[in-house]
Amino acid sequence: MTEAYITSLIRHFEDLRDGTHGGSASRKDKEAHFEKAVQLLAPVARQVLTEVNTSLLLDTGHLTETGLRRTADGGLNASWALSWPEQRAAGVQPIVLQAYFGGGFHHPHLRGTTVHDWPLNVFSEEDAAAQLSILRAIASSDLHNLVYSADYRIVPAVRAHPANRLAQGAKATL
C-alpha cells in the first residue's frame, strides 16, 4: 500500500502535468471538489487540534473555524484555529490548519500558520482520514515555530510539573 503522503504528491504532480484537479479542468468543478474536501477534512482538523489542546495546552485552548469563504483574490479557503491564553499574551499567532485554493492556483493546498503549502487531494472520507498524520505534522511544526517566536512558556504542559512528565516518559520507555 502506498503511503498517504506519497499518494498526495503523485496526485499533485499529475494535476500539474494535466492541468486538472480530481479529474476536473474547469475552475467551477475544481471549486466543487474543494468544497467537498473541506467538509470531509473538517472532523480530521478538529481532531488534531483537540489532541494538541488536550495534551499540550491542558484544555486551555479555544477552537474556532471559519467555514468555506471567498478570498480577496477570488479563491476559497477554510481554516481551523486553536488559540490559548499564553499564546495570545505572547502576541503570537494561533495554530491554524488551513485549506486554501488561491484564485490563480490550479489546485488547492493545506497550510499552517508558519508551515506552508502541502497538496490537498481529498475526494473521499478515506482520503480525509489519511491526512491525519499530515495535519498532525503541520500543527506540531506550527507549535514548534510559535515557541521560537515567543518561548517555551506558551506551552502549558511544559510548565506543569516538567520534571514529573520527563520521569513518566522515561519509565514508559523502559
What local confidence, expressed as pLDDT, does residue 164 receive? 52
What local confidence, expressed as pLDDT, does residue 174 receive? 45
Cβ(121)–Cβ(127) below 8 Å? yes
What is the tens place of the pLDDT at every residue in 102-112?
A: 999 999 999 99
Judged on CB neighbours under 10 Å (0-12, 13-18, 19+), 102 is middle
Find where cell 473555524 sits. Answer: 65
b/e 37-68 (16+ beta carbons within 10 angstroms → b): bbebbbebbbebbeebbeebbeeebebeeeee
Taking 70 as the pLDDT cut, the residues of the chain under it are 161-174
What local confidence, expressed as pLDDT, does residue 144 receive? 97
What local confidence, expressed as pLDDT, does residue 167 receive? 52
Q: At 32, list the grid cell.
A: 466543487
The 3-state DSSP class for residue 91 equals coil
- The C-alpha angle 6, 11, 15, rounded to 5 degrees, equals 150
What is the tens place of the pLDDT at every residue in 62-92?
A: 999 999 999 999 999 999 999 999 999 999 9
What local confidence, expressed as pLDDT, does residue 169 receive? 53
